[in-house]
Structure 1
Amino acid sequence: MKWVDRSREQMHKSANSVGNLLVEGFHYLGLFAIGAVTAWASVMAFMAMLEKGQASIDDILLLFIYLELGAMVGIYFKTNHLPIRFLLYVAITALTRYLIGDVSHHRPPDIGLVYSCAGIFLLALSVVAVRFASYRFPSSKPIDSTGEVIGKNTGQ
């Protein structure tokens, strides 16, 4: 029955290879789509600024949001890890953009202003917590081309 075990192992390796190929293909397709849409949206926002003949602080912060999204796609493409800090930066920039837009349109200050500032503060604390945790408890493990952790079950 040794040939049955070898056949089962070969079938497992083949299925694993096909599964890895499909997952990586989906990742690349998704990354290229997200990257393309982000680039397209940023170009369209820039063209709208050119048509207006001016750029407001809202417009500039929107371009920063697109920049952070593009950086996230690039980092994920290179490392296959999604940096949570960049999502927090996007959220901080989005709340700041909302806050500045709200104040610049001469709306009277209300409790919403306090909520926006509190949200920005909490997100900034989250960035500090994530940075501290990643420094204190690093989780990156070397991974080979098949997606397996290098040194697993070898005591390394």
Structure 2
Amino acid sequence: MINIAKKVQATGDLMVDYFHYFALFVIGGTVVWSATYEYFQIMSGGYAKLKDILLLFIYLELGAMVGIYFKTHRLPVQFLIYIAITALSRHLVIDVQKVSSEYHLYLLMSISFSIVLLSLAVMI
């Protein structure tokens, strides 16, 4: 009975590992596909805007995070924080100008504070 339980446990562990690798492969492929599509959109436009470059940095960080997870089997939280900082920076630079003037200062301050807070979190 114990031998069967060990075999079932080993089979379950193996299935989880296979699913993990498959999911990582799908996520990595999706990141590459999205980044490639975005890159060709930028090239067809003739020039890159700042929002496009920052979006490519987000794709780069996502790809690096998936690659590191493949190699180490650990998800570095720093990469998630870097992605959040880049996304907030992109939002700050690109989208804040479109906000109405009465909330503009509060939004600007809250995003800036969030970036500083996330930067401090990386240092810890």
Q: TM-score, normalised by structure 2?
A: 0.91
Cα shift at 1:102 = 3.0
Richer in helix (by share): 2
Q: Which runs of no fewer than 5 residues in structure 1 stay unpaired? A: 1-7, 130-156
**In the aligned structure 1, how far is the partner of 2:81 from the partner of 2:39?**
24
Asked if 1:128 is matched to 2:123, the reply is yes
**Larger Rg, first or second structure (1 or 2):** 1
Number of aligned residue pairs: give it: 122
State, as a whole percentage, how many aligned pairs show the same letter.
45
Q: TM-score, normalised by structure 1?
A: 0.73
Partner of 1:52: 45
Asked if 1:16 is matched to 2:27, the reply is no
Query: Which of 92, 103, 107 is matched with 1:112 structurally?
Result: 107
**In the aligned structure 1, how far is the partner of 2:67 from the partner of 2:95?**
32
Cα shift at 1:90 = 0.1
Q: Which runs of 4+ in 1 moved over 4 A?
A: 103-109
Partner of 1:146: none
**In the aligned structure 1, how far is the partner of 2:88 from the partner of 2:112?**
8
Cα offsets for 1:74-122 (capped at 9, x unmatched)? 1111111100000000000000000110356697542111111011011
Partner of 1:77: 70
Q: CA RMSD in A?
A: 1.7
Q: Which runs of no fewer than 5 residues in structure 2 stay unpaired? A: none
Greater relative contact order (CA < 8 Å, ≥ 6 in sequence)? 2
Cα shift at 1:51 = 1.3
Q: Point out the more displaced range, 35-44 or 100-109.
A: 100-109
